Amino acid sequence: MPRRLASAVCAAAVAAAVAPAAVHAQEPGAGKATSFAATFSAKRPDTATGVLLRTTGEPPAPPVTVPPVVRQTVTFPAGTRLRLGELPQCAATDDVLAAQGAEAVCPAESRVGTGRAEGVLNGTVVRFDLGVYAVRGTLFFAGERDGAPLKQGFSGVATGRRLALTVPTSNGAIAPTLFEARIPAHAAGAAWLRTPKRCPGTRRWIARATFQGLTAVGGAPVGGAQTLQAESPCRMPRGKG
């Protein structure tokens, strides 16, 4: 289950997870997702790859309020192989991560990517860095600021070719506006992410992201859902297209 955030740090990291405003006064509903990218580092089919995830958004317009939790579900292109368990793992429990931070208790090799996040707190933009760790078959996005770990974060859970990021927003205090994470391909072990076996005639793979506000971690949806799609360029091997 995703870990709760205790401050603005990693709530801002879910900047990607924004959804259309609800229509009823004072009803929570995330704002508008303005862009989404899911770009593979590899362009050839059936190849080990890394990925860049990036989303921007706008806060909801009053009187709509930010939901307590926002979830972004990324669906990679059909045929993508996503296996987070193939990454070098950290075995720390949720309690240990909360008490000491991933930076202190996880092996260096389990830090598999980096990122950044922004949000709006009481009218002020807050910015944080993210360290991405592979923890017990999930991704853990650990908040950092000015190079110092903050002992707070949130998880990304894979199911098939879907990756769900679920982040509390400090009970609606943070309006997410930017999320970005870059996780490269890793040479050691089996590929954690592999491109589809075919490159379509459009020479573009299509990924989708659905953004949804929630009443709590594991709670009911609030407000409307919004889906955006992103293209990642591909090319056929020489002589095959």
Q: How many CA atoms lie within 13 A of 72 on its CB side?
A: 37
Exposed, middle or buried by CB within 10 Å (0-12, 13-18, 19+), for 62? exposed
Residue with tokens 């879910």: 14
- DSSP sequence for 154-207: EEEEEETTEEEEEEE-TTTTEEEEEEEEEE---SSSS-SEE--S---TTSEEEE
Per-residue pLDDT at 26: 65
| Tens of pLDDT, residue by residue, the chain (241 residues) | 444 433 444 434 433 333 333 334 467 877 789 999 999 999 999 999 999 999 999 988 888 899 998 899 999 999 999 999 999 999 999 999 989 999 999 999 999 999 999 999 999 999 999 999 999 999 999 999 887 888 888 899 999 999 999 877 888 898 889 999 999 998 666 799 999 999 999 999 999 999 999 998 889 999 989 999 999 999 987 655 5
| Closest among 93, 210, 84, 54 to 156, alpha carbons compared | 84
- The gap from C-alpha 126 to its chain's centroid, in whole angstroms, comes to 18
Per-residue pLDDT at 189: 63
Residue 64's CB is within 10 A of a number of other CB atoms, namely 22
Per-residue pLDDT at 11: 39
Phi, psi for residue 109 in degrees, rounded to 5:
-70, -15
Burial 203-227 (b: 16+ CB within 10 A, else e): eebebbbbbbbbeebeeeebbeebe
| Inter-CA distances, 117 with 16, 74, 160, 174, Å | 9, 17, 26, 12
Per-residue pLDDT at 23: 36
Those residues with Cβ within 8 angstroms of residue 66's Cβ, 6 or more apart along the chain or in another chain: 28, 30, 31, 59, 60, 169, 172, 173, 174, 175, 176, 213
Per-residue pLDDT at 13: 40
